[in-house]
Amino acid sequence: MNEEFEEILKDIQNMESDFDEFEIWLENGIERGWITEPFCNTHDGDPYMTEEEQQEWEEGGDPCQVVLKIKQ
């Protein structure tokens, strides 16, 4: 095999490994209650919004929201 092909193959394998690690992290975090399940904030709203965030939202603020919320 030529060097360029080997480099491309190595990059692909590294990306797959990163994806696998993220999937393990995500599932572990959800199971242990550290993060929420993913949700679509645009279409579903934020079912995990705190009272403070809700008040800020109602007052016209734009509280920072993520697709995965880290639980305290």
Q: Per-residue pLDDT tens for 3-21?
A: 887 888 888 888 888 888 9
Same domain? 49 vs 18: no
Domain count, the chain: 2
Same domain? 39 vs 23: no
Q: What whole-number distance in Å separates Cα of residue 54 and Cα of residue 48?
A: 10
Same domain? 53 vs 66: yes
Same domain? 22 vs 43: no
Distance of CA 30 to the CA centre of its chain: 11
What is residue 63's predicted lDDT score, i.e. its pLDDT?
A: 65
Distances (CA, A) of 35 to 13, 30, 56, 61, 62: 27, 5, 22, 24, 21
Structural domain harbouring 23: 1-34
Same domain? 41 vs 17: no
Higher model confidence: residue 44 or residue 63? 44
Same domain? 26 vs 12: yes
pLDDT bracket for residue 50 (50, 70, 90): confident
Same domain? 17 vs 44: no
